[in-house]
Amino acid sequence: MPDQYTPQKSDKFTFGLWTVGNAGRDPFGDPVRPVMDPLHAVRKLGELGAYGVNFHDNDLVPFDATPQERDRIVREFKQAVADAGLVVPMATTNLFTHPIFRDGAFTASDASVRAFALQKTMRAIDLGVECGATTYVFWGGREGTETDAYRSPVDAVKYFREAMNFLCEYVRNQGYDLRFAIEPKPNEPRGDIYLPTVGHALAFIATLDHPEMVGLNPEFAHETMAGLNFVHAVGQAIEAGKLFHIDLNDQVPGRYDQDFRFGSENPKRAFLLVKLLEDSGFDGPRHYDAKAYRTEDEEGVWAFARGCMRSYLIFREKAQQFNQDPEIQGIISELRAQDTSYEGPSASEGYSSESAQALRDQQFDIGALSARGRRYEELDQLVMELLLGVR
């Protein structure tokens, strides 16, 4: 039954074909659901109110498809996307399933594998652009090691950089309207994956020939697997102007990559993430890189997809309530008034020898400043009561 949490295309929710199409295989069990026809996924997502779909090259075009098969598949896919009123904002390459990538793709020790990974990625970029993608994600699922006895981690970074620089030049040379988004992950399927967090990726991007073309696709589960605060990671990406895309899902810290339904494990962190995205004016797709529990049949998959989108809309409404709640905003206003009452010398105006000397001479009431309580318990309890539906 439609209600105020029924998604609209204007909410910009997207799903990867591999998400709703996940057949439930895991390291200890066979698939539990039939392989989903990508055209069926497109139609169903359109019916659910999604804005778009994304794909890895081989989610759509089999690894060994002939050029003729490839063209037919793409033609039919583009028609289904158009019929469903969807778009394809993002595409990416599968550089992790085929055995050739067993020791990596861009960072593989074998130079011929690195070259093949570039060839496959150029073709996949062409495919993504042909379907309308303007963001291209790089998740280095196999870019890592189980033992560091052979490949130097210094070489790995150099290999990664030469691949990204080459592909940036390819996109520039082709005249494509495309930005790259690196997706960090700390481990799995490799024992350790290079560029494991948002911080590592930001540092790496700064070393590229065209850093302006490359940003981030942070994933909730991946920073959480690393024991990090995903809201902080996204905040740093936003502040750096590098939040080019985002993978929404959920995760229990310290576990394998669970890719749970958004908001299903950490509702407070999910709320604070949605509040950050909405307050910051992020206008990119709200992309779900998540999958239904292995226990589910196809109906359960669509319940999962609906739940991802409904929870985002509920959290967005809660964020609006937070911003309008008189008691919450009263505490914030009082805190901010006191926090900004200092009028002495500071770093906010930049450095000068005069300001440095004035700062040296500044007197501070250490006792009063040390004794000041922050009222965060009161404020956080109000957030919890908002989320628990008692405000």
Cβ proximity to ligand DIG: between 133 and 328 the closer is 133
By CB under 6 A, is residue 183 in contact with ligand DIG? yes
CA dist 20 and 282 (Å) reads 25
Q: 155: which 2 tokens? A: 């070489």
Shortest gap between Cβ of 302 and Mn ion (angstroms)? Answer: 20
Binders in 93-112 for Mn ion, by CB under 5 A: none
Shortest gap between Cβ of 222 and Mn ion (angstroms)? Answer: 6
Binders in 261-320 for Mn ion, by CB under 5 A: 289
Kindly name the residue from 11, 40, 59, 289 that is annotated as catalytic: 59
Binders in 14-33 for ligand DIG, by CB under 6 A: 16, 18
The answer to whether 64 is a known catalytic residue is: no
Q: Which amino acid would we find at residue 168?
A: C
113 binds, among ligand DIG, Mn ion, none (CB under 5 to 8 A by kind): none
288 binds, among Mn ion, ligand DIG, none (CB under 5 to 8 A by kind): none
| Span from 57-65, 211-219, 261-269, 340-348 in contact with Mn ion (CB under 5 A) | 211-219
Shortest gap between Cβ of 80 and ligand DIG (angstroms)? Answer: 21
Q: Which of 247, 250, 265, 325 binds ligand DIG (CB under 6 A)?
A: 247
Q: 23: which 2 tokens? A: 């057949």
Query: Which CA distances in Å does 262 have to 92, 221, 259?
Result: 21, 10, 8
Residue 297 has what DSSP assignment? -
Binders in 73-92 for ligand DIG, by CB under 6 A: 92
The count of residues interacting with ligand DIG (CB under 6 A) is 10
CA dist 222 and 238 (Å) reads 17
- Assess whether the previous peptide bond of 267 is cis (omega < 30° from 0): no
Per the listing, tokens 């495919």 go with 127
| Span from 4-12, 34-42, 58-66, 215-223 in contact with Mn ion (CB under 5 A) | 215-223
Kindly name the residue from 56, 222, 245, 287 that is annotated as catalytic: 56
Cβ proximity to ligand DIG: between 92 and 264 the closer is 92
In 3D space, the residue among 199, 279, 287, 180 whose CA is nearest the CA of residue 237 turns out to be: 199
Contact (Cβ atoms closer than 8 angstroms) between residue 336 and residue 374: no
Position closest to ligand DIG via CB: 139
The answer to whether 126 is a known catalytic residue is: no
Pairing of strands 192-193, 214-216: unpaired
Contact (Cβ atoms closer than 8 angstroms) between residue 261 and residue 290: yes
Using CA atoms of 318, 322, 324, 327 in order, give the dihedral in degrees to the nearest 10: 140
Q: Which of 53, 133, 137, 274 binds ligand DIG (CB under 6 A)?
A: 137
By CB under 6 A, is residue 289 in contact with ligand DIG? yes
Pairing of strands 144-145, 90-92: unpaired
> What residue spans of 226-325 are helical by DSSP H?
230-239, 267-280, 298-324
137 binds, among Mn ion, ligand DIG, none (CB under 5 to 8 A by kind): ligand DIG
Per the listing, tokens 């394998």 go with 256
Q: Which residues in this chain contact ligand DIG in the complex, by CB under 6 A?
A: 16, 18, 56, 92, 137, 139, 183, 219, 247, 289
Catalytic (active-site) positions:
56, 59
Q: Which residues in this chain contact Mn ion in the complex, by CB under 5 A?
A: 219, 221, 247, 257, 259, 289
